[in-house]
Amino acid sequence: PQVIFSGIQPTGVPHLGNYLGALRQWAKLQNEAAPDTTLLYSIVDLHAITIKQDPAQLRQWRKEMLASLLAVGLDPKRSIIFYQSSVPAHSELMWILSCNASMGYLSRMTQWKSKLSLPDNASPLDPGPTSKAALKLGLFSYPVLQASDILIHRATHVPVGDDQSQHLEFAREVANGFNHLFSRSSKTHILPPPETILSPAKRVMSLTQPTKKMSKSDQDVKSRILITDSREEIFKKVKSALTDSIEGVSYDPSTRPGVSNLVEIMYYMDESVADSPKALTQDLRELSMRALKELVADTINVHIRDVRERYQGVMYGGGNGNSLGEIGEEGAGRARESAGRTMGIVREAMGLD
């Protein structure tokens, strides 16, 4: 049977990139899963602390993220939804895996470089004069914790956006390395190497800098649309999105990144409108920039409205159903069971039982 795992950092309310690249796919997988498929979705708070976090803010963000996961349609009865830090085995397996993780491989990962705004060829031993002290061990070894998140549940499939494919490749490498050292035969996997499931909307770009991905931690709040944004906020942000002065609408991400991003967002919000973003521009080609933006904003609003309303209900509605605290507790219990089974197998294989 399949085991599906994915995670999201509680670093703010999810934006359209998180939604189209991950969360909508999570809900779809849940709704279409075979009865014997296990689904685990984690709020990865231990990843969030690889950069400095204010405790009160982090507490609030964790709660908002749980409400967001319910708002996009995850059902705590069907999916195991839990905070990563409630399941200590994630960190325990990370230590074990880090004993065999290659520093060379980790140093080629791009995420720690992009978080510190370093060039792609930066090295951990010499990351540059301004950032040597800024590079913390946790940020550098983050992919090992991510591998552990996946492998501790023996996940077979991991749905993510394109920005995470490199880390999934690393997780497979770590699993294969562990199996090579400790499996009794080459046919049995103690830790199955997970497959990546890439969302069709691979990379939603920032509205204000369309050559960068849309991100929760971007300083500019106008760069992203949140799944909780009101109709007015959506219209305002799309209206101020950076485009160009070429007449008409066409799709070419390299020469028209801003316009192409808007077209992509519209297409992925509602794939029934055309066969591809490029095909969609056939219908839109004569629109002015202003008309395009209104159409895009309206499409976003129509498709995100239910999510926004459910979020308000979960966060502030009270009364019906279990509280967020109870849902988190219940998910943690089930996730601990799943992780405990793997730790038993790992300990036995390594002589730590």
**For this structure, is 236 an active site residue?**
no
161 binds ligand AQP (CB under 6 A): yes
**Position 160 contacts ligand AQP (CB under 6 A):** yes
Which residue do the tokens 């709020």 mark?
Answer: 43
Question: With CB under 6 A as the contact rule, which of the stretches 4-12, 83-91, 100-108, 236-244 interacts with ligand AQP?
Answer: 4-12
Residue 81 binding ligand AQP, by CB under 6 A: no
- Give the per-residue contact string, 5-24, with ligand AQP (x = CB under 6 A; - = no): ---xx-x-----xx--xx--
For position 223 contacting ligand AQP by CB under 6 A, the verdict is no
Residue 260 sits in the site that holds ligand AQP (CB under 6 A): no
Vertex 347 angle, CA 343 and 5, to 5° = 25
Distance between CA atoms of 260 and 32, rounded to whole angstroms? 31
Q: Tell me if 213 contacts ligand AQP by CB under 6 A.
A: yes
Residue 141 binds to ligand AQP (criterion: CB under 6 A): no
Alpha helix (H) residue ranges in 50-101: 55-71, 89-98
Catalytic annotation, pick one of 115, 136, 212, 222: 115
Q: Does 310 bind ligand AQP (CB under 6 A)?
A: no
Of the residues 63, 113, 213, 237, only one is catalytic, namely 213
Distances (CA, A) of 75 to 60, 98, 143: 21, 33, 28
User: Tokens 């951990």 sit at which residue?
Assistant: 124
8 Å CB contact between 208 and 247: no
How far apart CA 179 and CA 186 sit, in angstroms, is: 8
Q: Does 148 bind ligand AQP (CB under 6 A)?
A: no
Tokens read off for 30: 């849940």
The token duo for 108 is 């080629």
> Can residue 258 be called a binding residue for ligand AQP (CB under 6 A)?
no
Q: How far is the CB of 73 from ligand AQP (least distance, A)?
A: 16
Among 189, 203, 231, 239, interactor with ligand AQP by CB under 6 A:
203
Instruction: Report if residue 28 touches ligand AQP, rule: CB under 6 A.
Output: no
Look up 216 and say whether it is catalytic: yes
The answer to the question of residue 216 lying near ligand AQP (CB under 6 A) is yes
Could you tell me which residues come within 8 angstroms of residue 106 by beta carbon, excluding any fewer than 6 positions away? 124, 140, 141, 143, 144, 170
**Burial level of 116, CB count in 10 A (0-12/13-18/19+)?**
middle
* Cα separation, 168 vs 190, whole angstroms: 17
- Smallest gap, in angstroms, from Cβ of residue 242 to ligand AQP? 16
Indicate the residue type of 89. Answer: A
How many residues in the shown chain lie near ligand AQP by CB under 6 A? 18
Which active-site residues does the annotation give?
Answer: 115, 213, 216
Positions touching ligand AQP (CB under 6 A) are 8-9, 11, 17-18, 21-22, 160-161, 163-164, 203-204, 213-217
